[in-house]
Amino acid sequence: MSLSTTADDLLVGVLAVQGDVREHLRALAEAGARAVPVRRESELDDVDALVLPGGESTTIDKLTRAFGLREPLLARLAAGMPAYGSCAGMILLADRVQDAIEGQLTLGGIDMTVRRNAFGRQVDSFEEDLDVAGVEGPPVRAVFIRAPWVESVGPDVEVLARVEGGPADGRIVAVRQGNLLATSFHPEITGDIRVHRLFVDLVRSNRVRSGRT
């Protein structure tokens, strides 16, 4: 496996079978990582970490199987590869999904149950300012588009953000478990790179702990 050689030369992939890939690539680059699209197993082998983008979770699931990526993804995640999932990516990192379609699979890794399309349809999309643990400065402007929320988490999952007020008050929308980070919302489309910087710092810390600096 070919990995980048210094803690300041991180190579972070974005799963590029469907979804808002370009926006994540741009945000990761601004956050200090080299960012590349990943469509093949050989490309997955080269990266230090992976972003699972927003899009349609069922489509991404089907395409990872069609591209022969599902088993390699499971293997890398099981080996401790850091990953960040936004919106559909959060669903893919969940161990359990409510309102899934028949046959829908996830990659898993985060001990949580998510509800697919919990906030409603496309017309129900909205924005909200959120306090996100680990993100310094003012609240994060969070954009929710056909977003999931987290119904429940296991004891090893850290809750980073909840909705405040309104009919979804208290719903969990950002979590972390070990090397895995997930948000219901889309930080990649707002121009605020602080969530991506949080992930890049997580990846860098993982490399230091594992002695790959």
Q: Name the residues annotated as catalytic.
A: 87, 186, 188
d(CA 166, CA 107): 31
- Provide DSSP, the chain: ----SSTTS-EEEEE-SSSSHHHHHHHHHHTT-EEEEE-SHHHHHH-SEEEE-SS-HHHHHHHHHHTT-HHHHHHHHHTT--EEEETHHHHHHEEEEESPPTT------EEEEEETTTT-SGGG-EEEEE--TT--SSPEEEEESS--EEEEE-TTPEEEEE--SSTTTT-EEEEEETTEEEESS-GGGTS--HHHHHHHHHHHHHHHHTT--
Question: What CA–CA distance (Å, rounded) separates 165 from 36?
Answer: 38
